[in-house]
Amino acid sequence: MQHMETRNPVEQLEETLRHAYVLIASCCDDSYLYSCCMGVKRADQLREVQNEITFYLQLFPLASFVDNTRTWERLLSRACPLCSRETTDDLHAVHHAEHEDRLRTEVLMANGFENLGTHPPSKPEEEKTEGQVMNMRGLADLIGGAKGAELLHFSLSQILAATDNLSDGNLVGNGGFGCVYKGKLSNGVDIAVKRHDASSFQGPHEFRTEIESIPNLRHRNIIALLGCCVQAEESILIYEYMPNKCLASIIADETKRELLNWSKRLQIIKGIADGLVYLHGHSQMCIVHRDIKASNILLDHEMNAKITDFGLALMLAPNTTAEVAVMGTYGYADPEYVATRIISEKADVYGFGIVLLEIISGKLIQSYNLKVKGH
């Protein structure tokens, strides 16, 4: 180990093993009477040492990987000094932008330039109550503007054709917002269709929040919103499809958990961190997600992390806080935010810390699907 941060665990393991040797040697030298009197204390000491050894042995593969990665980065920087980390990150960003633009183009071509515009139809196909019409007009205006970003509009018939009439066979997830279906466009492009539940109290607000926030976000670790459908009583969002589904499903499944070798775990951790840094500091506004958890981290075919579900997101001015109702998920919600109702980007950092522990340990917190009620 060449770096201090990764060498420390090895040195601490060595010290723990030395301590274990001393304990075992002293046990061998103890008299029968001493062993009878102090046996419980000795057992506790040995158990504590055993736990420390187990901890360092689990940590060693990650420390070794980090150390090797840093060594290779140093060697590559010497061999090619012009290829700095910033240059590499820029190349990744350009590659992601090109991929997303290509995906949007494929979606546009699949539906036809004449049938698919950037604005929803001006006339609703079915009669609605006055309240529904006003709500539809509000959403139509919002989608048409989309805060400066183009948002493709799908007809309900296109959604039904892509998802086999929203069949249960294409259902890939559900929650308080509604259901998510896998779909396939006419040219073979896979999409994820998020259908909001009309009876959900938070549904319209979450739908509006996602349309306001996601279209302007372009980052390799943020899910891409491709379009929407607002028709009849349906409010539907269309995203890029993630074949490996969510991080929570991988961790919860003992068979799929084998996909999470240490290099993939580090890749996922870094991806989530990069996505949060972008949301908090490098997007057009400071966006606080408010519900960072394993089930809101999607994984593509290469196990790259994508932050999703911006229904509870808040937009803040940089380096500011706000007092809001408490929303989120038990176990992931920042206790300080829950107690004070003061929100900042620190709430996302707390949630990221919980997800980090889940990734390293390979275990989910028991209450990850229990919702925090608004106060």
Tokens of 109: 């071509």
Question: What phi, psi does 16 have (nearest 5°)?
Answer: -65, -40
Task: Tell me the CA distances in angstroms from 339 to 179, 235, 375, one per residue in order.
Answer: 31, 34, 10
Q: Measure the CA–CA gap between 182 and 194, rounded to whole angstroms.
A: 9
Yes or no: say if 239 and 318 are a contact pair by the CB < 8 Å rule. no
Q: Residue 191's closest CA among 268, 151, 146, 243?
A: 243
Yes or no: say if 195 and 236 are a contact pair by the CB < 8 Å rule. yes
346 is in an annotated binding site: no
Other Cβ atoms closer than 10 A to 172? 16
Identified catalytic residue from 101, 168, 291, 309 = 291
Integer-rounded Cα Rg, in Å, for the chain is 26
Q: Measure the CA–CA gap between 17 and 23, rounded to whole angstroms.
A: 10
Yes or no: say if 74 and 48 are a contact pair by the CB < 8 Å rule. no
Q: Which amino acid is at 336?
A: E
Active site annotation includes 30: no
H helix or E strand, kind and range, residue 214: none
Task: Tell me the CA distances in angstroms from 323 to 92, 292, 326, 344, 361, one per residue in order.
Answer: 36, 19, 9, 9, 34
Q: List binding-site positions for ATP.
A: 194
List active site positions. Answer: 291
Q: List binding-site positions.
A: 194
